[in-house]
Amino acid sequence: MSSGPNEITFDFSMQWLFIPPITAIFTILAAGFLSTGLPIAVAPAIWGLVVLMFVLLTVLYGIFIKKDFLSGLFPVQLIAQGILLCPLALRMGAGMLQWVGVLLAICGAVVLVAMYCRARAELDQAITYMMPQTELDALPLPFAITDGEGYIVSASDCLLRLLQKTRAAINGKKINSLLSLDKETASIGGKEWKILRTPMEDGTQYFQLEEAHGVEVTLPAGLGGDFVDSATSLYNHAYAVKRVEEELYRVYRYKRWMSAALLRVEFKENEASSSSNVKKEDEIFNAYCRFIRSCTRETDISCLVGFRDILIVLPETSLDEVQNVVSKLMDVESFLKEETKGFAGAVKIHEGVVFLNASSGTLDFDSMMAKLDATLK
């Protein structure tokens, strides 16, 4: 019933005429019509349990009407009448109907559970596919995330540009409709890309495309300029922050791990040198940076984070592995003999290393840098 300022109206549905207590009249008549005249006593406790369940199902029937979930009325009706018919058939001497009651109750319960599971799955899928675009989608990496059945739930802008697809066109699609998963590489835009696939503990899948022949991915608008510094061959700071925070997200979201190293290069004057040679120091430092870039993997991230401070981030790398990498980079003069020739000063490297996993609590670039600064030697 609803009311306005000047009127009162009744909101009545015909479904209320078929609530379980009213339908039970026909169940009782059917049991009486098929009675053999040989009733069997039913314990009062059984009757009490049946009445309680019948009342609860009647309330559920009413809730479904109010919620306009009309498709759920029929299975609830089957359960209610089946539960009532089991003891009623015995009491009225129609014993053959008790099995009909059991069958009605079971069928109704199975149909109701199936309807609930289907409605819940459709709701979860709708929520997933209607999720707003996140900042991660703007990262300069071609990647996609799928659910356990291979349906795409997230994709980066970079991947969309490579595939020349819109976000609406791929959301909810199978990943194998875009990438041939039976191959290790894919030809997209006239270039060859490695398909990297990582299963996650929550059942989702992470897919990323990596250049098979050193092809550079076009960066999204906003990063600006070339993302590699020409003098050092290291990524610029803006690009590195995006990459690092994307990796930190993967570590936290998918329970992965990574390591990071901070190398601080310091030039010290010897007694024989009267003044520092800034130009020579820059040449040595830039050569050292280029050497570091040549020693790291395509998936690693190396950039400048301060005056002669070099950050190296290594995804899926343990602490022992990153320490081995750093130890090989400590002796500058041994692999930069030509650049250091004639340099009167000395080069010293200070290093700091951290290992990060899902429980580290590090979710952004600044937090990671603070941890590295604390370990710097």
Main-chain phi, psi angles of 4, to 5 degrees: -120, -170
Q: Provide the residue count of the chain.
A: 377
User: What is residue 188's predicted lDDT score, i.e. its pLDDT?
Assistant: 78
Among 195, 200, 201, which residue's Cα sits nearest to residue 175? 195
Among 166, 145, 140, which residue's Cα sits nearest to residue 155? 145
- Can you give the CATH number for the domain in which 294 is found? 3.30.70.270
* Under 8 Å between Cβ of 193 and 212: yes
- Which one of 222, 251, 277 terminates a domain? 222
pLDDT, average across residues 306-327: 90
- Specify which residues 351 forms β-bridges with: 263
pLDDT category of residue 262 using cuts at 50, 70 and 90: very high
CA–CA gap between residue 374 and residue 67 (Å, rounded)? 58
State the residue range of the domain holding 295. Answer: 226-377
Helices (H) and strands (E) in the chain, counts: 12, 11
Residues 200 and 255 grouped into a single domain = no
* Under 8 Å between Cβ of 220 and 138: yes
CA–CA gap between residue 293 and residue 193 (Å, rounded)? 21
Residues 37 and 70 grouped into a single domain = yes
User: What is residue 3's predicted lDDT score, i.e. its pLDDT?
Assistant: 44
- Which one of 129, 144, 159 terminates a domain? 129
**Per-residue pLDDT tens over the stretch 323-345:** 998 888 887 777 787 777 777 77
Residues 231 and 180 grouped into a single domain = no
In this structure, of 5-19, 34-48, 237-251, 300-314, the range with the lowest mean pLDDT score is 5-19
Q: What is the DSSP string of 70-109?
A: GGGHHHHHHHHHHHHHHHHHHHTT-TTHHHHHHHHHHHHH
Looking at the structure of the chain, the number of domains it has is 3
pLDDT category of residue 276 using cuts at 50, 70 and 90: low
Residues 297 and 370 grouped into a single domain = yes
CA–CA gap between residue 237 and residue 326 (Å, rounded)? 21
- Can you give the CATH number for the domain in which 195 is found? 3.30.450.20
- Which one of 222, 246, 270 terminates a domain? 222
